[in-house]
Amino acid sequence: MHAYCKHNGIGIIPWAPLAAGALARPVGTETTRHNSTRGTALEKKLTDADVTIINRVEELAKKKNCKMGQIALAWAGTKVSSPIVGVNSVERLRESIVNGIELTQEDVAYLEQPCVLCLVVSVVVRLTQPLQL
């Protein structure tokens, strides 16, 4: 999809590039959000590929001495220019600024190798035409 959109001048704006926090903390970390959805239709069950990706995000964050969310946003930044990030504190807002965190092509390939259907959900917006307000 990315190649098609790039070729046709279509921008991709990911909604929830941190996958509701799944890419921002180690697998198994309990949060209020996670606990409140447990056993409901809203509960997000991680696939084996999801777990592998999250573990790799954690590994790269340790290697690059940064937060897992910053690695996930840097990864999204290799695909798009403006991810929509929800934050719940000034600290999280600061963490969402990923200046100076670079992912190599090898890092990106390492993160994407287990992808069957990645955690990032995208909304496609045609950018070649001006918005009518």
> Taking 90 as the threshold, does the pLDDT of residue 107 lie above it?
yes
Please tell me what DSSP assigns to residue 45.
Answer: P
Say what the pLDDT of residue 32 is.
Answer: 85
Which pLDDT score is estimated for 53? 94
Q: Give the domain ranges of the chain.
A: 2-126
pLDDT for res 123: 32
- CATH classification (class only), 2-126: alpha beta
* 76 pLDDT higher than 80: yes
Report the residue count for the chain: 133
Q: Which letter, b or e, does each residue of 25-41 get, where b requires 16 or more Cβ atoms within 10 Å of its Cβ? A: beeeeeeeebeeeeeee
Residues 6+ apart with CB under 8 A from 55: 26, 27
d(CA 74, CA 31): 23
Give Rg (Cα) of the chain: 15
Alpha-carbon gap, residue 130 to 98, rounded angstroms? 28
pLDDT at 63 over 80: yes
